[in-house]
Amino acid sequence: MENNIKNVKVVVADPSAMGLFGLAMVTLVASSQKLGWTSGTSLVIPWAIFLGAFAQIYASIIDAKHNNTFGMTAFGGYGFFWLGVASTWLIQAGFFGEALQASADPKQLGFAFLGYLIFTAFMTVGAMETHKVLFAIFCLIDLLFIGLTLSSFGIMYDFSHGLAAWSELGIALLSFYGAAAAVLNVHFGKILLPVGKPFGIFK
């Protein structure tokens, strides 16, 4: 008796545009608060959850189907980061009770941001072999986490807070461009928005 084995290939679209759009939206809204253009975090939380978290986690899952370890790790890592940030803001606002709010130590955030700085540093190396726009985004994320880490520990607060705020705005603008390039270049089948070739150092 013969066993006929068929391999079925499931084609899924590149999720980069969705992931970058989610990153762009949440960093645009969050940077407006850091820069003092808006106040409070209440209306940043929905964008952190649905765009910063869910859109990037969705992109991570699709990249896993593409066998793209870098994309899966990047979008997943930052997607879960925004879930953590949203939860932090809810704790600080007293959503989970006054006891949890009162016992919150901002320095613990500093260690979380330090961990993400380490994560972003080695992911920046990987971004060098994707394209130059993504590499620039990761460089700005490095600066963002340097600023967030220092400000959480109260080190050069005015400078580090400003560094985080302006870096985050830069991430938003570049991510919008990257998302647009990922959509339009594929949609029209030609390079409308150049993103730059990989550096080619490691490959």
With 0.85 as the threshold, say if the pTM is over it. Answer: yes
In this prediction, the residues of the chain whose per-residue pLDDT falls under 50 are none
Give per-residue pLDDT as tens, 6-44. 766 667 899 999 999 999 999 999 999 999 999 999 999
Domain locations in the chain as residue ranges: 16-188
Is 133 in contact with 173 (CB distance < 8 Å)?
no
**What CA–CA distance (Å, rounded) separates 18 from 195?**
16
Per-residue pLDDT, 76: 98
Per-residue pLDDT, 12: 85
Per-residue pLDDT, 5: 73
Q: What are phi and psi of 34, to 5 degrees?
A: -65, -35
Per-residue pLDDT, 26: 98
**What CA–CA distance (Å, rounded) separates 118 from 175?**
21
Distances (CA, A) of 130 to 38, 83, 92, 127, 156: 34, 26, 38, 5, 34
Q: Which residue has the tokens 């700005």?
A: 140
CA angle in degrees (0–180, nearest 5) for 70-73-78: 125
Q: Where are the alpha helices (DSSP H) in 35-131?
A: 45-47, 56-65, 69-92, 98-102, 106-127
